Amino acid sequence: MADAKPIDKTYLSVPYDLRETAKAAGALWDKKQKAWFAKGADVPEGLREFLPSHQPERPLEDPRTAFGQFLRDNGADLKGSPEMDGTWHRVALAGDGKVTNASYRGFLDGVPNGQFKNFKGADEPLQWTGKGDAVSLEERQRLSAEAAQARENRERERANEQEATAKRAFGIWTNLKTWATPENCPYLARKNARGYGVKLADDGRMVIPLRDDAGRIWSLQFVGDEKTYLKHGRKDGLYHTIDPNKDLKNAPEKGDRLTVIVGEGYATGADVYNATKLPTFVAFDGDNLTATAKAVRDRYPAANILIAADDDHHLPERTPPLPNKGLKCAWAAAEAVGGKVLAPSFTPAEKDRRATDWNDLKQHRGEKGLLTALRESFAEMQRGHVRNAGKDRGLERKLEMSR
């Protein structure tokens, strides 16, 4: 079922002592943005005096301009003005293009200030503090209204783009007639992985649908030498499900607790499913693990959720060192849903050959080696959760049956 169409909003700069006047003229309060707004773009006459463009500007340093320059000077590839709403926002690094490698947040309360975190740099974020006096209440209201309007416009544009991409993705997926297998798909052959609900593009790439909990396709991932997505497609909280035996559909009829696995990439998901026969959700990358795990928890409240982690052991060895993103994201996802982590353990030789996930482990040790490693990881997980060991019997039975 499609979401209700959001109303258009024009944000206003309303002084505190005039809030009742604005309310009487039709202004509404947005709790999320913490700003007043008028419905639609045609603002009533009684509210036009509150438009940000009608407010006088003080001849002080514009905190957004100054903070934006600070971010750019320290390597951020910032487009336009920064959002100074007190929350963290992801931003790409100049020459990098990945919006996962840096973030910033800015504050307008009191003396304007902000922080910039470069995940490829030092552990502590860089601090910025504005010059001059604190921003006046009136100026802060004007800036907040402008920031809220900018967010509203971006969110509306993004929603429209995602909706258009969803329609395009459905058309592409429907017109693909061939299911991907190791025999016809170079990627599956290279990974020695099976095809579960994935199709083959005309150029030989594997195509994976990104679905929500209602089964709607919002985007597609194309997997060949590289992994790409449809432009402007949604990804957060979407996943691909591997469950050919329909255990998820039949779970309420079984009477025992459901155990599921959530992993990053498709090859890991396919291999872990093949070894355990437990329903598996592919989150596509580490940044989407927590959102996917939460979506699974919402859909299956009583499920025992296991996170099949990647081990990016090479990242802490860099100069400067970076966090082990695979394990960090897996533990964050497990903590968010009360789940547990299944982490691979590699030998020094396997690490030298850049093994980082469960598929890499299988490539080195074979199907039996993968199952043995899963049992060992499960046993280690049990030792760390002795009090809850009884809840894990479903997976234990599955692993024993896979011998």
Whether residue 286 sits in one domain with residue 355: yes
| Model pLDDT, residue 155 | 85
Confidence category of residue 386, pLDDT binned at 50, 70, 90: very low
Total count of domains within the chain = 3
Q: Are 233 and 220 in contact (CB under 8 A)?
A: yes
Tokens for 396, please give them. Answer: 């234990």
Whether residue 320 sits in one domain with residue 200: yes
| Model pLDDT, residue 123 | 66
**Strand boundaries in 184-326, DSSP class E:** 199-200, 206-211, 217-223, 227-229, 240-242, 259-263, 280-282, 304-308
pLDDT digits (tens, 9 = 90+) for 140-180: 777 778 777 877 888 889 899 999 999 999 999 999 999 99
Q: What is the CATH number of the domain that holds 385?
A: 3.40.1360.10
Q: Note whether residue 332 is domain-resident.
A: yes
Q: Rounded to two decimals, what is the model's pTM?
A: 0.71
Q: Are strands 304-308 and 259-263 parallel, antiparallel or unpaired?
A: parallel
Q: Note whether residue 391 is domain-resident.
A: yes
Whether residue 229 sits in one domain with residue 152: no
Q: What one-letter code names the amino acid at 296? A: V
pLDDT digits (tens, 9 = 90+) for 230-270: 999 999 999 999 999 999 988 765 545 789 999 999 999 99
Q: Note whether residue 309 is domain-resident.
A: yes
Q: In this model, does residue 281 exceed pLDDT 70?
A: yes
Q: Note whether residue 342 is domain-resident.
A: yes
What domain range includes position 108?
63-135
| Model pLDDT, residue 254 | 53
Radius of gyration of the chain (CA): 25
Whether residue 22 sits in one domain with residue 76: no
Query: Measuring CA to CA, which residue among 402, 375, 394 is closest to residue 275?
Result: 402
- How many Cβ atoms are within 10 Å of 77's Cβ, its own excluded? 17
State residue 213 phi and psi, 5-degree precision: -70, -10
Whether residue 258 sits in one domain with residue 377: yes
Q: In this model, does residue 192 exceed pLDDT 90?
A: yes
Q: Listing from the earlier edge strand, what are the strands of the sheet with 113-118?
A: 89-90, 102-107, 113-118, 126-129
Q: Note whether residue 353 is domain-resident.
A: yes
**Summary mean pLDDT of the chain:** 86
Distance (Å, whole) CA 76 – CA 102 = 7
Provide the 3-class DSSP secondary structure of residue 273.
helix
Whether residue 266 sits in one domain with residue 285: yes
Whether residue 255 sits in one domain with residue 106: no
Q: Are 294 and 337 in contact (CB under 8 A)?
A: yes
Provide the 3-class DSSP secondary structure of residue 219.
strand
State residue 128 phi and psi, 5-degree precision: -125, 140
Q: In this model, does residue 305 exceed pLDDT 60?
A: yes
Q: Note whether residue 1 is domain-resident.
A: no
Tokens for 41, please give them. Answer: 């773009």
Q: Are 272 and 193 in contact (CB under 8 A)?
A: no
Whether residue 184 sits in one domain with residue 110: no
For helices 289-299 and 325-337, angle between their N-to-C axes, nearest 10 degrees: 20
Tokens for 312, please give them. Answer: 């990016």
Whether residue 149 sits in one domain with residue 39: yes
In the numeric block, the tokens 């060949």 are attached to 224
